[in-house]
Amino acid sequence: MARSKIKKSLIGLHQKYGATLRGRYTKSYLTLKQKRKCPKCGSRRFRRTALGIWSCPKCQHIVASGAYNFVTKKV
């Protein structure tokens, strides 16, 4: 018998706040923590430093973009 997979929706919030909200939280959290390439030097250490501010520690390149994702949807 195959063992059931542990759901990713359990990151951080254990049994709190309800399934829908946990799902939303997990989705945005995982997009936030994805590995990204720096648009200037191509380093994989490119990450968010503050809400809407993305920076590369290698080449000090700072860009303003989305709150949880670097590439935002175009309206």
CB of 27 to Zn ion, least distance (A): 27
Report the distance separating Cα 66 and Cα 44, nearest Å: 18
Residues 6 or more apart whose Cβ sits within 8 Å of residue 39 = 46, 61, 63
Q: Is 62 in the site for Zn ion (CB under 5 A)?
A: no
Interface stretch with Zn ion, choices 4-12, 14-22, 49-57, 67-75 (CB under 5 A): 49-57
Nearest Cα neighbor of 54 from 74, 41, 42, 39 is 39
Residue closer to Zn ion, measured from CB, 47 or 61: 61
- Residue ranges binding Zn ion (CB under 5 A): 38, 40-41, 43, 56, 58-59, 61
